């Protein structure tokens, strides 16, 4: 009986019955098109690598990135992963948005973190989907910028 008690106590202290918790955080980024025009989207990180390159989003469609790891108990926000976003439309209207070049909370700027809706998943905010939704307002904003086709 004493041996059984020692064995059970040893298992308890060594963590054999403890639930494994994965503290590794990650983010996914989602771009949805709820506008009436197709959007061609390119997204770059700070190193100049593309998260997305010339992906066409038809109205009603969306695209999602692979997991972007953030390390222990951290899910990276858009400001940590997205440096520039280029959008283009069939009629040649286009715009390039670069983080930190626009005023804070500029509407219709897919490089600005404040325009994303976070969707935290799981028991802790270590995994998150950040969602940006294109609408016809994004088209009008790109047209007002007047950058034309790139």
Sorted by where each begins, the domain ranges of the chain are 25-145
For residues 36-59, give the mean pLDDT. Answer: 93
Residue 40 has a pLDDT of 96
Residue 33 has a pLDDT of 97
Q: How confident is the model at residue 149 (pLDDT cuts 50, 70, 90)?
A: very low
CA distance 87 to 56: 10
Find the helix or strand (DSSP H, E) in which 5 lies. Answer: helix 2-14
Question: Would you tell me which CATH number, out of the four given (3.30.420, 2.40.50, 2.60.40, 1.20.1250), belongs to the domain 25-145?
Answer: 2.60.40
Beta bridge partners of 52: 43
> Of all residues in the chain, what percent carry a pLDDT higher than 90?
34
For residues 103-124, give the mean pLDDT. Answer: 78
pTM above 0.85, yes or no: no
State yes or no: pLDDT of 140 exceeds 80: yes
State yes or no: pLDDT of 139 exceeds 90: yes
> The tokens of 128 are what?
């998150």
**Per-residue pLDDT tens for 85-109?**
999 999 999 999 888 765 565 778 8
Q: Which residue has the tokens 């009436």?
A: 36
For residues 7-16, give the mean pLDDT. Answer: 55
CA distance 85 to 74: 23
What does the mean pLDDT of the chain come to? 80
For residues 55-70, give the mean pLDDT. Answer: 87
């Amino acid at each position: 009986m004493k041996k059984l008690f020692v064995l059970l106590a040893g298992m308890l202290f060594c963590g054999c019955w403890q639930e494994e918790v994965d503290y590794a955080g990650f983010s996914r980024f989602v771009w949805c098109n709820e506008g009436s025009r197709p959007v061609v989207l390119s997204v770059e990180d700070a190193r100049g690598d593309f998260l997305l390159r010339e992906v066409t989003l038809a109205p009603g469609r969306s695209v999602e990135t692979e997991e972007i790891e953030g390390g222990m108990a951290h899910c990276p926000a858009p400001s940590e992963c997205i440096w520039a976003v280029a959008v283009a439309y069939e009629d040649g209207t286009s715009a390039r948005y670069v983080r930190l070049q626009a005023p804070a909370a500029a509407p219709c700027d897919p490089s600005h973190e404040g325009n994303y809706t976070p969707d935290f998943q799981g028991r802790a905010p270590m995994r998150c989907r950040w969602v940006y939704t294109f609408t016809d307002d994004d088209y009008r904003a790109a047209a007002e910028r007047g950058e034309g086709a790139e």
